[in-house]
Amino acid sequence: MILNTGSRTDIPAYYSDWFYNRIQEGYVLARNPYYPSQIIKYMLNPEVVDVMVFCTKNPLPMLDRIERLSAFDTFWFVTITPYGKEIEPYVPNKEQVIHSFCQLSRLVGRNRISWRYDPIFLTDKYSIAWHIERFQYMAKALSGYTSQCVVSFIDLYEKTKKNFGGVRSVAKEEQEQLIDAFSKISKKYALQIHLCCEDAGLVRENVDADGCMSKSVLEKALGCKLDVPGKKTARKECSCLLGADIGAYNTCGHGCLYCYANYDRKTVAANWKKHRADSPLLIGEVTKDDIIKPAEQKSWKNGQLDLFDMI
């Protein structure tokens, strides 16, 4: 099975102590965000967890103890975007994140780390020309440290519109102009671009719409086939394996205006006060009214890929 940590928050950036405590204890509890009294218990055992997937804007807090994950296969998405503090107020300096990305790549391997350049939005400051120039710069800086990049355009969720007034969607012709340029840049730096829930009409050389955390992406990273049970996907156009997430909404501290996972800073601050590094839950404690159910966990690995599959 695939254990996810990053669809709801940024565990490496803000909760690394808690996560490593969970590794030591050998299990973690995750509260159902839609039915809060229901809690799922996941065993953190490499015999049933085929890969742990992280999604972060700052992997640095995890790196000094990463040997504690040596029994597990991991896959990392690191988001590096060109926006300033007025958009991403608490994201570290981008040069620092690039340095941490390269350090992480050396530790886990370039096939187990992906650069996320998303979400893309346009303003007078963050123009098409700006995006192309910064994408070129970052692609060059990360060259040799990853083989893939995830690209998506901003989705205007209600939370996003509330927190990011005036933002607009990116028009089709603007998307095409950007992807045409990104395709040429990615070819130069040996990157495969995975579009995240975008129109298949944007597929180009070095650009696919097959999913960023799809079965095929993880199989290539792991070097083996996965027998993934049929499950309903998060979105009909998404082939990514997004279930079994141990995070919690309204807990990420980056404060990005475009964030879909936070309602507002006040809610995040209130949840931070409930966090304890020694609790099996990311936020709060188990109560007498909670119902804890063990997750159905088994390995999906099924044999090695041949050389043709790896290409």
Selection from 44, 55, 31 nearest residue 1 by Cα: 44
Rounded Cα gap, residues 177 and 133, in angstroms? 13
- Across the chain, the runs of DSSP E, i.e. the strands, are 2-4, 27-31, 38-43, 51-56, 74-79, 113-120, 148-153, 192-195, 207-208, 224-226, 291-294, 301-304
Alpha-carbon separation of residue 249 from 42, 154, 202, 281, 283 (angstroms):
18, 19, 31, 13, 10
How far apart CA 183 and CA 188 sit, in angstroms, is 9
CA atoms of 181 and 199, how far apart (whole Å): 17
- Residue written as tokens 């045409």? 180
Q: Which pTM was predicted?
A: 0.93
Per-residue buried b or exposed e for 133-144, using 16+ beta carbons within 10 Å of the residue's own CB = ebbbebbebbee
At 72, the amino acid letter reads F
Region 212-224: what's the mean pLDDT?
86
Q: What is the pLDDT of residues 159-209, one digit of tens each?
A: 888 888 888 889 999 999 999 999 999 999 999 999 988 888 999 999 998
Q: Is 144 left (phi over 0), alpha (psi -120 to 50) or beta?
A: left
Whether 232 has a pLDDT exceeding 60, the answer reads no
Read off the pLDDT of residues 263-292 as tens digits, 9 standing for 90 and up. 889 999 999 999 999 999 999 999 999 999
Q: What is the pLDDT of residues 47-87, one digit of tens each?
A: 999 999 999 999 999 999 999 999 999 999 999 999 999 99
